Each structure stands twice: as structure tokens, then as C-alpha cells.
């Protein structure tokens, strides 16, 4: 393997970027030598966070600016020159089509010379890689404010389910769960639905005195994240035995499991007998196991009924690191292919 030391100089680095709607993170890692085992912990030289880089939200100029800045600052923090960059992987929210990839690629090509390998993906791909440590295989389920299920096969096919926003039925998302909690309060108040503990708990948490005030509160600010912030209230009511809150969470579990199953089926990730093993990477606040009512575990239990080989993974590294590992594994593949 002497040739690798020629191709991978010790001072070379890779960059991983997780460009989301809420924040953008870049990590800089040394170019690890080819090996089946990654060092633990991973050697992160520098890490920088900034704001939104979804160009659908902030526009192309601001998105390009943010992406350029986090990479530049991560390099500076790592004490590394731009010329040391060997490969970059960006997982950027809003990248859904080849033309989106080309657009972001053209921005990054303006900054780095042609010999730098650049890989552009959707941010769900970085999240998947954060669980599989750089291997692009399996399914990732992200459930934060929004929700999406994204899957890849080893031969490069991909599929997604959900991720279409609240109007188009992302009912398992944090927004979906919280909006149903709010709806349950309105329905209990006007007589359409059963009484629920959610009424007092949600009103308390919002500092409101009557369900009548919920309409004004809801439409005063259209931000999805503001609604989704009520998920812990729904979870705590469910834990206290409230039936309405339990129904909302059970419904969300079914929704999320259904989006995973749809991806697994379309990609045949579990093989024809549906028993093959495949990773399911779980990311986002809704799936974090911080309560006795553990939505993530329930989703997996639900998926396991159909696909007994589903292997849940809660990532130990962040998506930006996943992107860096992805850049690394793509580069290694190219180097190995060049040696054949």
C-alpha cells in the first residue's frame, strides 16, 4: 500500500459540511490513511457553525456566502491552508435534483482548484453517513421540525419518502405532532373532541389563559419550529397517561415507520425475502431517547414487524462529520478504482 502514502500526504485534509435550514456546520479532518477501522475518537482539526444555507430560504447569494465562510473559517481554525484540501462533501438542505447539485458545485468550484474532489448531496445524506460512519447504504429517518426518510443502496440507487412539509402531510414530524396537540385543545374546547390534559399543559407552556387565544397565537408567526417546540409537552402528557396525547404519538410512530418502510421497499434494502440486514439511522429531536415515551424506539419496533433485519443506529458523530467521512470514503473509492 506504499502508493497511498504518495497520494495522501500527511498534511492533507478533508472538509465535511452539513448545510441545514437552521444552521450550517463545517468540520475539518486530516486525510486518514486507508483502513477498515476508523480511529475513535475521530481526529477533528476544527469545527465552525453558522446560520442557514438552504438557498430556498435565504437566497443563493447568502447560501453561497455562508457555505464559503464556514469552510474558510474551519480551515483557519485548523491552521491549514486552502491548498491542503483534498476533498469536500457538502450535505445541503434544498438539494433535491441534479441541477441543484450543479448549482452548489459551481459555487464551491469558484473557491477551490480543480484537483479538489467535491461531492454535493442533500443534508439527509450527511445524516445517514453520520450513523454509518461514511458508508452510503441504508436508510436515515430524520424527525425534527420536519421529517424525511432517505435511503441508498450500495450500487447508488436512492429513494425518499415524506419530507414534503406540513401541508403535504408530514404528520410524524415535530410540527405534525405539535399541531395535532394544539388541534386537540381546540377540539376539546369547542366540544368536538374529548377533554385532555394537553389543554392546561399547552396553555401553561405558552402563557395563555384560554384555548380561544390559541388561534391568535398560532397565526401570529408562521414559523414551523415555533409550533414544533411543543413536542415535549405532548410527550409529557402522554407519559402521564393522557389518552389523546398517546393517540397523537402513536399516530406519529405509524407515520414515521411508514416512511421508512416505503424507502426500504422501493430500494429492496432488506432483500427479496425482507429479512436482510440494513441500517436505519435515527436523527432529530423527535427521535431522541430522552423520555420514557421513546418515539424512536417505537418506530423501530414498528419497522421490525415488517423488516426483521432493520438495525437502528443513533449516530455518535454529527452530520458534518458524517459528510467528512463520506468525502473520505468517496475519495478512497476513487483512489482504489484508479489502482485497478
CA distance 263 to 137: 12
Nearest to 28 by CA among 110, 89, 111: 89
Shortest distance, position 29 Cβ to a copy of itself, whole Å: 34
Question: Which residues from 169-188 bind a copy of itself, rule CB under 8 A?
Answer: 169, 179-180, 182-183, 186-187
The three cell numbers locating residue 79: 491552521
Shortest distance, position 151 Cβ to a copy of itself, whole Å: 11
Shortest distance, position 41 Cβ to a copy of itself, whole Å: 37
191 touching a copy of itself, by CB under 8 A: yes
Question: Which residues from 23-52 bind a copy of itself, rule CB under 8 A?
Answer: none
Burial class (CB in 10 A: 0-12, 13-18, 19+), 37: exposed
Shortest distance, position 153 Cβ to a copy of itself, whole Å: 15
Q: Name 195's Cβ contacts closer than 8 Å, sequence gap at least 6.
A: 188
161 touching a copy of itself, by CB under 8 A: yes
The three cell numbers locating residue 313: 443506529
| β-strands 46-50, 24-30 pairing | antiparallel
251 touching a copy of itself, by CB under 8 A: no
Of the candidates 44, 70, 133, 162, which one interacts with a copy of itself according to CB under 8 A? 162
Choices 43-51, 68-76, 209-217, 314-322; region in contact with a copy of itself by CB under 8 A: 209-217
- DSSP-assigned letters across all residues of 80-99: --GGGEEEEEEEETT--SHH
201 touching a copy of itself, by CB under 8 A: no
Q: Cβ(159)–Cβ(146) under 8 Å?
A: no
Residues near a copy of itself, by CB under 8 A: 96, 159-162, 164-169, 179-180, 182-183, 186-187, 190-192, 212, 214-215, 218-219, 222, 227, 258-259, 261-263, 265-266
Amino acid at each position: 500500500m506504499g502508493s497511498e502514502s504518495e497520494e495522501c500526504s500527511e498534511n492533507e485534509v478533508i472538509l465535511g459540511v452539513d448545510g441545514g435550514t437552521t444552521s450550517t456546520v463545517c468540520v475539518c479532518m486530516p486525510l486518514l490513511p486507508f483502513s477498515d477501522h476508523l480511529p475513535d475518537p475521530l481526529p477533528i482539526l476544527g469545527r465552525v457553525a453558522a446560520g442557514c444555507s438552504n438557498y430556498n430560504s435565504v437566497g443563493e447569494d447568502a447560501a453561497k456566502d455562508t457555505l464559503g465562510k464556514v469552510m474558510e473559517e474551519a480551515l483557519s481554525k485548523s491552521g491549514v491552508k486552502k491548498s491542503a484540501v483534498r476533498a469536500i462533501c457538502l450535505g445541503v438542505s434544498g438539494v433535491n435534483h441534479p441541477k441543484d447539485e450543479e448549482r452548489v458545485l459551481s459555487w464551491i468550484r469558484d473557491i477551490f482548484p480543480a484537483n479538489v474532489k467535491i461531492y454535493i448531496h442533500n443534508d439527509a445524506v450527511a445524516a445517514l453517513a453520520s450513523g454509518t460512519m461514511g458508508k452510503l447504504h441504508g436508510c436515515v429517518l430524520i424527525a425534527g421540525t420536519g421529517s424525511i426518510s432517505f435511503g441508498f443502496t450500495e450500487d447508488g440507487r436512492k429513494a425518499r419518502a415524506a419530507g414534503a412539509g406540513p401541508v403535504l402531510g408530514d404528520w410524524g414530524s415535530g410540527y405534525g405532532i405539535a399541531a395535532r396537540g394544539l388541534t386537540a385543545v381546540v377540539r376539546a374546547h369547542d366540544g368536538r373532541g374529548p377533554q385532555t390534559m394537553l389543554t392546561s399543559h399547552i396553555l401553561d407552556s405558552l402563557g395563555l389563559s384560554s384555548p380561544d387565544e390559541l388561534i391568535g397565537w398560532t397565526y401570529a408567526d408562521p414559523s414551523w419550529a415555533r409550533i414544533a417546540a411543543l413536542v415535549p409537552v405532548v410527550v409529557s402528557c402522554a407519559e402521564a397517561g393522557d389518552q389523546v396525547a398517546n393517540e397523537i404519538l402513536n399516530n406519529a410512530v405509524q407515520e414515521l415507520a411508514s416512511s421508512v418502510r416505503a424507502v426500504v421497499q422501493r430500494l429492496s434494502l432488506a432483500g427479496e425475502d425482507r429479512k436482510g440486514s440494513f441500517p436505519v439511522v435515527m436523527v432529530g429531536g423527535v427521535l431522541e431517547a430522552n423520555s420514557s415515551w421513546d418515539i424512536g424506539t417505537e418506530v423501530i419496533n414498528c419497522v421490525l414487524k415488517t423488516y426483521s433485519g432493520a438495525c437502528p443506529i443513533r449516530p455518535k458523530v454529527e452530520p458534518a462529520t458524517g459528510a467528512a467521512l463520506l468525502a473520505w470514503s468517496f475519495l478512497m473509492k476513487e483512489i482504489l478504482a484508479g489502482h485497478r
